[in-house]
C-alpha cells in the first residue's frame, strides 16, 4: 500500500495500485442502475461474452429502461443510503462486484448523495462475510486531488461550476480510500455526455498532460469499465 500509484487519463483519470487477484466477477450489483451511466454499464455487461449475472439496485424500478430490466438477473428495490437495504441486495444478488454509478440531476447544487451512499456501502462491506466483494466507483476528473488540465483558465472555470458535485465525488472517494482501498477501483471521467460515442478511450500515463477532450461519452466510459477495467487488461489491478 505504500507504493507510488501510476496515473492514467482515459478521458478518465485513474490511479493504479497493483493487486494480486484479478477481478473476474460472476455476479455484479449495479447501484444507480436507473441513471444514465448505470444503464450504459449494464448494457455493456450484457454484451460481454462471459455474461455475468447482473442485478439492478435502485429506488424506483419504474425508472429502469425496459430493455435493460428484461435482461437483468434481478431488480432489487431499495435505498443505497441505508445499510440494511444494501446488505439485502448483496445477499440476494450474491454479488462479488459492486459498481457504483450514483448521480444527481442537480449537480450544480449542494449534494452529499454519493458520500452517503459510500458510507452505507462501506459499512456493510467491512464485515468479514463481504471481504470478497470488490467495488468499481464512477467518480469524476477534478475530484479529490486530481487536476482538470483542459487549457488556460478552462479547468478553473469547470472546477468552479462543478464545485458542489466535485466535493461530493471527493467525499465518496475519501470513504473508500480510508476503509477499503485494496478492493476499490475509482474511475474519473471528464464531462460525461451522450450520443458522442467514439469507440476510443485514451490512457495517458502522465496526469500533467492536457486532456485531449473535455467530454467522455457514457457509452465509451461503460465499454472501458467492462471490457478493460473489470474483465480486460486492467482487471489485475485495483484503482484508487
Cβ partners under 8 Å of residue 162, min gap 6: 107, 108, 140, 142
Task: Compute CA distances 114 → 33, 211, 227, whole Å.
Answer: 14, 25, 25
Cβ 71 vs Cβ 54: under 8 Å: yes
CA distance 76 to 55: 7
| Residue 89, number of CB atoms within 10 A of its CB | 23
pLDDT given at position 212? 56
For 94, left (φ over 0), alpha (ψ -120 to 50), or beta?
left
Q: What angle is formed at CA 229 by the lines to CA 226 and CA 233, rounded to 5 degrees? A: 115
The tens-digit pLDDT sequence of the chain (240 residues) is: 444 333 334 444 444 444 444 668 899 999 999 999 999 999 999 998 888 999 999 999 999 999 999 999 999 999 999 999 999 999 999 999 999 999 765 556 788 999 999 999 999 999 999 999 999 999 887 777 666 665 555 555 556 566 677 889 889 999 998 999 888 888 888 777 777 667 666 554 445 555 555 677 888 889 888 988 888 766 665 544
Single out the residue of 170, 187, 172 nearest to residue 12, CA to CA. 187
pLDDT at position 18, please? 40
Nearest 10 degrees: CA dihedral of 28, 31, 35, 37?
-50
Give me the DSSP letters along 142-181: TSTT----SSTTHHHHHHHHTHHHHHHHHHHHHHHHHHHG
The answer to whether 185 and 229 are in contact (CB under 8 A) is: yes
Q: Nearest 5°: phi and psi at 239? A: -115, 140
Instruction: Kindly give the interhelix angle for 154-161 and 163-180, rounded to the nearest 10 degrees.
Output: 80
Residue 90, pLDDT score? 98
**Whole-number pLDDT of residue 7:** 32
Q: Rounded distance, CA 213 to CA 115, Å?
A: 27
**What confidence score (pLDDT) does residue 161 get?**
60
The answer to whether 48 touches 231, Cβ cutoff 8 Å, is yes
State phi, psi for 173 to the nearest 5 degrees. -60, -45
Q: How many Cα neighbours within 13 Å face the side chain of 194?
A: 6
- For 48, residues 6+ apart whose C-beta sits below 8 A from its C-beta are 226, 227, 231
Helix (H, G, I), strand (E, B) or coil at 188: strand
Amino acid at each position: 500500500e505504500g507504493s507510488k500509484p501510476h496515473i492514467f487519463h482515459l478521458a478518465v483519470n485513474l490511479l493504479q495500485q497493483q493487486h494480486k487477484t484479478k477481478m473476474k466477477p460472476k455476479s455484479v450489483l449495479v447501484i444507480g442502475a436507473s441513471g444514465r451511466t448505470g444503464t450504459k454499464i449494464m448494457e455493456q455487461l450484457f454484451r460481454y461474452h462471459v455474461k455475468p449475472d447482473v442485478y439492478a439496485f435502485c429506488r424506483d424500478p419504474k425508472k429502469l429502461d425496459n430493455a435493460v430490466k428484461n435482461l437483468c438477473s434481478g431488480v432489487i428495490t431499495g435505498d443505497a443510503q441505508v445499510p440494511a437495504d444494501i446488505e439485502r441486495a448483496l445477499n440476494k444478488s450474491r454479488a462479488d462486484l459492486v459498481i457504483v454509478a450514483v448521480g444527481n440531476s442537480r449537480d450544480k447544487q449542494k449534494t452529499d448523495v454519493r458520500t452517503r451512499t459510500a458510507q452505507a456501502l462501506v459499512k456493510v462491506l467491512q464485515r468479514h462475510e463481504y471481504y470478497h466483494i470488490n467495488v468499481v466507483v464512477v467518480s469524476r476528473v477534478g475530484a479529490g486531488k486530481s487536476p482538470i488540465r483542459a487549457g488556460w483558465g478552462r479547468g478553473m472555470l469547470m472546477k468552479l461550476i462543478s464545485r458542489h458535485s466535485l466535493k461530493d465525488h471527493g467525499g465518496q472517494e475519501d470513504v473508500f480510500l480510508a476503509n477499503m482501498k485494496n478492493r476499490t477501483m475509482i474511475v474519473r471521467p471528464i464531462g460525461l455526455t451522450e450520443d458522442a460515442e467514439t469507440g476510443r478511450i485514451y490512457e495517458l500515463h502522465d496526469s500533467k498532460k492536457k486532456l485531449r477532450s473535455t467530454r467522455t461519452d457514457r457509452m465509451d466510459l461503460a465499454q472501458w469499465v467492462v471490457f478493460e477495467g473489470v474483465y480486460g487488461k486492467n482487471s489485475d489491478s485495483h484503482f484508487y
